Amino acid sequence: MTVARGTRVIVLQNDHSSPVLEWQARADAQGFTVETVRSPGDGDWTAAVLSAIERSGAPPVGLASISSLHWSEGALIDVEKIGAALRRQGAMFLIDGTQSVGVLTMDVRSLDPDFVIFPTYKWLLGPYGRAFIYVARRHQDGVPLEQTASGRRDVRAENAVYFTDPRYVTDARRFDMGERDHFVSLEMAAIGMEMVAGWGLPAIAQRLAMLTDRIADGVRGIGVGVLDKHLRAPHVLSLTFKDGALAGLVEGLAAEGVYVAPRLGRMRVSPHVFNDEADADRFVAALSRRLRS
């Protein structure tokens, strides 16, 4: 993918490395600028990104490369609104769906992003080392990152002439990784995705929203901050604490068999379908004890 010279690439402050670092590395050589949308004080990332895209007098946007929700804050980002704003400028849209694919519905036919990337190990109950990319048909003539025999029309070991036809295949298979036929992890990824599809994303989102709402209601009473419900994802809850209160909490909870993650000064709580109400209540009780001690 080539970003036009003189344009802007929109990224999010403290977004995960995947949708950010590539553009920072390319900017000088390719002649575009990287604009970082600062974390909004009110938690409304959608409004902040739209404001950056539509800012009067700014260079045109060539690309927005953002996550579908903020990994450390658990804040939802309305990719449909952002996609519409980008189309009005003729800009490309790359979505890192790592934090949402498997829980939140994304219809690429109506959304029409340029690229969507996501691994299987997060919400799709799959293995590490497997990831997928959606490439819009208009970009399927691009040059892949890896130059593989499987990405060419007829480069085969069984041929009498090895490089019989080294032209790229005509679809997105040209972007496949080398050694793609790793049968164990492909089977694991397929089974995880089939399970998720069988349950249905609305049912998964509803279940996880019930758990995170239960936790949010419980922690508010002990002075812990959470985003308003309309701004946060149903499955990722980011807790904020008074200065210094987070220190030692994650390790202390782990000692009690309660596992959460520190994320940029916050505590990320991400239940999945294998968690239940008792797990949520146990977490709130353990956190309350730790904060009182």
More confident call, 167 vs 180:
167
> How far lies 232's CA from each of 54, 213, 229, in Å?
24, 10, 5
Q: What is the pLDDT of residue 182?
A: 83
Instruction: At 197, list the tokens.
Output: 């599809």
> How far lies 40's CA from each of 13, 45, 96, in Å?
10, 6, 20
State the DSSP code for 231: G
**Percent of the chain topping pLDDT 70:** 100
Measured between its terminal Cα atoms, the distance across the chain in Å is 53
- Contact present, 136 and 86 (Cβ < 8 Å): no
State the DSSP code for 225: B
| Cα(153)–Cα(203) distance, integer angstroms | 42
Cβ atoms < 10 Å from Cβ of 3: 22
When pLDDT is averaged across residues 115-126 and rounded to a whole number, the result is 96
Residue with tokens 């399927």: 140
pTM for the model: 0.91
Q: What is the pLDDT of residue 147?
A: 94
Tens of pLDDT, residues 44-71? 999 999 999 999 999 999 999 999 999 9
| Cα(122)–Cα(250) distance, integer angstroms | 20
**Percent of the chain topping pLDDT 90:** 89
Tens of pLDDT, residues 225-263? 999 999 999 999 999 998 878 889 999 999 999 999 999
Residue with tokens 């990337």: 117
Residue 227, strand partner residues = none
CA proximity to 92, closest of 60, 51, 62: 62
CA proximity to 4, closest of 26, 31, 24: 31
Q: What is the DSSP secondary-structure string of 54-117?
A: T-TTSPPEEEEEEESB-TTT-BB--HHHHHHHHHHHT-EEEEE-TTTTTTS---HHHH--SEEE
- pLDDT of 197 over the 90 cut: yes
- pLDDT of 290 over the 80 cut: yes
